[in-house]
Amino acid sequence: MIPAGFSYVRAGSVEEALDELSRHGGAARPLAGGHSLLPAMKLRRAEPGVLVDIGRLRELSYVRADGDRIAVGALTSHRTLERDPVVAAQVPLLAAAARRIGDPQVRNRGTIGGSLAHADPAADLAGAVLALDGVLVARGPAGVREIPAREFFTGRCRNALAPGELLTEIRLPAAPGRSYAFEKFSRRALDWAVVGVAAQARPGGGVAIALIGMGPTPVRATAVEEALAAGEPAAEAARLAAWGCEPPDDAVASASYRTHLAEVLVTRALAAL
Amino acid sequence: MRVEITVNGQAHSREIEPRLLLVHFLRDTLSLTGTHVGCDTSSCGACTVLLDGEAVKSCTVLAAQADGLAVTTVEGLAGEDGLSPVQEGFRQCHGLQCGFCTPGMVMAATALLAENPDPTEQEIRGGLKGNMCRCTGYQMIVESVQWAAANGGAK
Ligand SMILES: Cc1cc2nc3c(=O)[nH]c(=O)nc-3n(C[C@H](O)[C@H](O)[C@H](O)COP(=O)(O)OP(=O)(O)OC[C@H]3O[C@@H](n4cnc5c(N)ncnc54)[C@H](O)[C@@H]3O)c2cc1C
Ligand code: FES
Ligand code: FES
Please tell me the predicted confidence (pLDDT) of residue B138.
97
- In the predicted model, what is the mean pLDDT of residues A178-198? 92
pLDDT value at A203 more than 90: no
Helix (H), strand (E) at residue A33: none
- Nearest CB neighbour to B18, from listed A1, A8, A79: A8
The CATH class of the B85-150 domain is mainly alpha
Per domain, the residue ranges of chain B are 2-76, 85-150
Q: Could you report the per-residue pLDDT of B43-91, keeping only the tens digit for each?
A: 999 999 999 999 999 999 999 999 999 999 999 999 999 999 999 999 9
- In the predicted model, what is the mean pLDDT of residues B120-141? 97
- In the predicted model, what is the mean pLDDT of residues A119-124? 98
CA of A105 to the centre of ligand 2 (A): 11
Question: Do A8 and B45 make contact, defined as CB atoms within 8 angstroms?
Answer: no
Confidence of residue A191 (pLDDT cuts 50, 70, 90): confident
Please tell me the predicted confidence (pLDDT) of residue B1.
97
Please tell me the predicted confidence (pLDDT) of residue B70.
98
- Nearest residue to B105 via CA among B82, B77, B69, B70: B77
Structural domains in chain A plus CATH codes:
7-52 (3.30.43.10), 59-173 (3.30.465.10), 180-272 (3.30.390.50)
Residue pair B22/B37 in contact (Cβ under 8 Å)? The answer is no
- Nearest CB neighbour to A5, from listed B17, B41, B67: B17
Q: What is the atom index within ligand 2 of the atom nearest the CA of B43?
A: 3
Please tell me the predicted confidence (pLDDT) of residue A188.
76
Three-class SS state of A27: helix
Which ligand sits nearest to residue A39's alpha carbon? Answer: 1
Confidence of residue A204 (pLDDT cuts 50, 70, 90): confident
In eight-state DSSP terms, residue B83 is S
Which ligand sits nearest to residue B97's alpha carbon? Answer: 3
pLDDT value at B42 more than 80: yes
CA of B139 to the centre of ligand 3 (A): 12
Question: Do A103 and B129 make contact, defined as CB atoms within 8 angstroms?
Answer: yes
CA of B128 to the centre of ligand 3 (A): 13
Between the alpha carbon of residue B86 and those of residues A205, B49, B102, the distances in Å are 51, 14, 11
pLDDT value at B10 more than 90: yes
Confidence of residue A86 (pLDDT cuts 50, 70, 90): very high
- For residue A6, which residues of chain B lie inside 8 Å, CB to CB? 18-19
Please tell me the predicted confidence (pLDDT) of residue A269.
98
Please give the share of chain A, as a percent, with pLDDT higher than 70: 100
Q: How far apart are CA A44 and CA A35, in angstroms?
A: 15
- Is the CB of residue B62 less than 8 Å away from at least one CB of chain A? yes
Q: Could you report the per-residue pLDDT of A59-73, keeping only the tens digit for each?
A: 999 999 989 999 999
Q: What is the atom index within ligand 2 of the atom nearest the CA of B37?
A: 1
Q: Could you report the per-residue pLDDT of A207-265, keeping only the tens digit for each?
A: 999 999 999 999 999 999 999 999 999 999 999 999 999 999 999 999 999 999 999 99
Please tell me the predicted confidence (pLDDT) of residue B148.
98
Please tell me the predicted confidence (pLDDT) of residue A189.
66
pLDDT value at B143 more than 70: yes
Please tell me the predicted confidence (pLDDT) of residue A197.
98
| pTM tops 0.80 | yes
Q: What is the atom index within ligand 2 of the atom nearest the CA of B39?
A: 4
Among B94, B102, B143, name the best residue to mutate to test ligand 3's pocket (greatest count of ligand atoms within 8 A of Cβ): B102
Confidence of residue A151 (pLDDT cuts 50, 70, 90): very high
Q: Does domain B2-76 have CATH number 3.10.20.30?
A: yes
Cα dihedral sign, B97-B101-B106-B108: negative
Please tell me the predicted confidence (pLDDT) of residue B155.
79
Sequence length of chain A is 273
- In the predicted model, what is the mean pLDDT of residues A85-96? 98
Question: Do B60 and A39 make contact, defined as CB atoms within 8 angstroms?
Answer: yes
Q: In chain B, which among 77-136 make CB contacts under 8 A with chain A?
A: 108, 111-112, 126-127, 129-132
CA of A226 to the centre of ligand 2 (A): 45
- For residue B54, which residues of chain A lie inside 8 Å, CB to CB? 79, 108
Mean pLDDT taken over chain B: 97
Question: Do B18 and A4 make contact, defined as CB atoms within 8 angstroms?
Answer: no
Between the alpha carbon of residue A70 and those of residues A110, A136, B124, the distances in Å are 20, 12, 32
- In the predicted model, what is the mean pLDDT of residues B114-142? 97
- Nearest CB neighbour to A35, from listed B19, B42, B111: B42
Question: Do B55 and A105 make contact, defined as CB atoms within 8 angstroms?
Answer: yes
Q: How far apart are CA A101 and CA A110, in angstroms?
A: 9
Q: What is the atom index within ligand 2 of the atom nearest the CA of B45?
A: 3
pLDDT value at A190 more than 80: no
